[in-house]
Amino acid sequence: MLNFLWQFTPTVIILGFLIFVHELGHFIACRLSGVRVEKFSIGFGPELIQFKRNETTYAISAIPFGGFVKPSGESFSDLADHQAKPGDFLAASKLSRLFILLAGVVMNFLIAVILFTFVFWLGQAVLKAKVGGFVAGYPAEESNLKIGDEILYLNGKKVENWQQMTMLIFENQEPSLILDVDRDGRAVRVEIEPQHDVGTDVFGEKKKISRIGITPSKEYLFVKYSFIESCQRSVLTTLNLTMMTYKALWRLVTGRMSPKTLSGPIGIMVMTGNAARMGLSPLLQLTAIISISLAVINLLPIPALDGGHIFFLLIGMLKGSEVHPKVQDKLTQIGFACLMALMVFVVYNDLINIGFIDKIKSWLGG
């Protein structure tokens, strides 16, 4: 029970925070655009807390995996006599509506940048690029490389830590690797012909990778950057992760990546609990990554998501008239049904990944 609470509590806090930030973006944009907000809710289902201030009802509901801001006159079905009045969402200009729809994902991207900035600025412990041992049968074992050597340069590229060094080795396509190492204060150059294996990248796609067969030492290096450099690195990290997320989604759609790699609420709960155990820096990084994922998914042109509403709005701007309300409502219903089906799939996938389905099968079989 305590283990479950340790996993569940950070997840609720993080998702609640990110959903609040997303909806706060919509809320602020509505205020700036002169659109009334009828309700601001964090979560779905039975309401735990509710109060009204001015014209807006604020609520916190039992199911934390979601939330919404309900502007006045958001859809044609909300309008009396189908006539939008000042303060209604549909009475605002198309640019104002676009601003309101985009504000949520902009806030998620902004939070990711802020969190990554703190990670780089406060610093984090990373493994040194120092040889701790050798893997039997690989080239490094028979080379001039020694245990305790700290790798400084690889084919002329400066090595900052173990993770960066392994990526340089994996991506190498040259017949040999030149390693400049520090050996007890002496500069030594070692040449190794790597072994080329077939491995998988972060998207699960097979590719040729290089390996030399070394394992890390247990020495860590505390790395931190100036505030300005931390800001620069955070922006680049956010952009890179955004592109990687879209690339992964494209591979899912085209069948080049297995849907089994998707994680849902349970998978997020496990990852968040593990990150919380590892400390503040990993937890902030995971929160930033989840925030980017929420932004990317919300921008997809799927009815029922922000991206779907933006899609309808852009079509209306191009054709000079609104997309017919019945068409929007029908497509939104279909989009919502698809999202629910996807949610059921990822939850089932999470249960398989944590071994729950196998336990159920064994119980039933027993």
For the chain, give every domain's residue range: 2-122+268-365, 125-223
pLDDT digit string (tens) for 316-337? 888 777 777 777 777 777 777 7
pLDDT at 223: 87
Q: Grade residue 357 by pLDDT with cuts at 50, 70 and 90.
A: very low
Q: Does residue 2 carry a pLDDT above 60?
A: no
Q: For the packed helices 2-33 and 94-122, what is the interaxial angle rounded to 10 degrees?
A: 140
pLDDT digit string (tens) for 337-350? 777 776 676 666 65
Per-residue DSSP letter, 130? B
Q: Grade residue 229 by pLDDT with cuts at 50, 70 and 90.
A: very high
Q: Are 129 and 309 in contact (CB under 8 A)?
A: no
Helix (H, G, I), strand (E, B) or coil at 57: strand
pLDDT at 346: 65
Dist CA 115 CA 322 (whole Å): 39
Comparing 6 with 286, which gets the higher pLDDT? Answer: 286
Model confidence pTM above 0.75: yes
Q: List C-alpha distances in Å: 216 to 134, 147, 162, 196.
A: 9, 9, 7, 20
**Residue 23 annotated among the catalytic residues of the structure:** yes
Dist CA 286 CA 225 (whole Å): 20
Q: For the packed helices 280-298 and 265-278, what is the interaxial angle rounded to 10 degrees?
A: 150
- Cα end-to-end distance, the chain, whole Å: 25
Q: Grade residue 151 by pLDDT with cuts at 50, 70 and 90.
A: very high
Q: Mean pLDDT lowest for which of 30-44, 87-101, 253-267, 275-289?
A: 253-267
Architecture in CATH of 125-223: Roll (2.30)
